[in-house]
Chains A and B, each alone.
Chain A
């Protein structure tokens, strides 16, 4: 399976701390994306990193990609209570007529005030 697997499954931190989530996958990719999901809602795209990129920033988010280890990490700096959500990595997978995304089970992040 090419599905990403996030680690840890759950993470609890206090406001102001940094949160790091990891994703591992099994086969070669073109791109890796991170999504966020608030409880019972749809997923929202956060950031895309290409296979030839090693690091990418967006606001308080920093994503790294190590294709030799088939892993990625998402770092949220100076976390806020509003960052409480589940975070998913998604790898691209070529299907019959185009690409689809394979999602992992996600990391559930709780940020307490």
Chain B
């Protein structure tokens, strides 16, 4: 266990559904991240939160909406997704955003959009 949990582990949704992914870290970290991992592509950074404030939005479509109510919890709200959004969505946290900080990853949510 890395100290980062994600729910649900698997999610199947239609293009008109609204769902949310949840991430929780028990490490007392200040920074949290959402990544998208698709087959044959590098891990894509989506959003970064630092002390609950969004500090990076890597040109992510508005159908993905992050929320960080406190430094331990991170959500990714999904609506009107496309089939190409099917991927493994990974949450990570790090103590801060120094270059020496390592990231701790959750197990991911496998999302399938029909």
On chain A, the residues within 8 Å of B4 by CB distance are: 42
On chain A, the residues within 8 Å of B97 by CB distance are: 95, 97-100
B48 near A44 (CB under 8 angstroms)?
no
CA distance A43 to B90 in the complex (A): 9
A101 near B100 (CB under 8 angstroms)?
no
On chain B, the residues within 8 Å of A96 by CB distance are: 55-56
B43 near A45 (CB under 8 angstroms)?
no
Q: How many A-B residue pairs have CB under 8 A?
A: 74
On chain B, the residues within 8 Å of A99 by CB distance are: 97-99, 101
On chain B, the residues within 8 Å of A98 by CB distance are: 31, 48, 50, 55, 96-98
B110 near A92 (CB under 8 angstroms)?
no
B106 near A42 (CB under 8 angstroms)?
yes
B45 near A100 (CB under 8 angstroms)?
yes
On chain A, the residues within 8 Å of B104 by CB distance are: 45
Contact of A48 with B100 at beta-carbon distance under 8 Å, contacts A96-B55, A97-B55, A98-B50 already known:
yes
A62 close to B (CB within 8 Å):
no
Q: How many residues of B contact A (CB 8 A)?
A: 31
A3 near B101 (CB under 8 angstroms)?
no
A80 close to B (CB within 8 Å):
no
B17 close to A (CB within 8 Å):
no
B61 close to A (CB within 8 Å):
no
| A20-32 interface code vs B (CB 8 A; 1 in, 0 out) | 0000000000110
State which residues 69-113 of A face B: CB under 8 Å.
88, 92, 94-106
| B37-76 interface code vs A (CB 8 A; 1 in, 0 out) | 0001111010010100001100000000000000000000
Known: A35-B105, A41-B108, A92-B99. 6 other contacts (CB 8 A): A31-B100, A40-B110, A50-B100, A95-B56, A97-B50, A98-B97
| A-B contacts, 14 listed (Cβ < 8 Å) | A30-B100, A40-B110, A41-B108, A42-B2, A42-B4, A42-B90, A43-B43, A43-B105, A95-B48, A97-B97, A98-B48, A100-B56, A100-B97, A105-B40
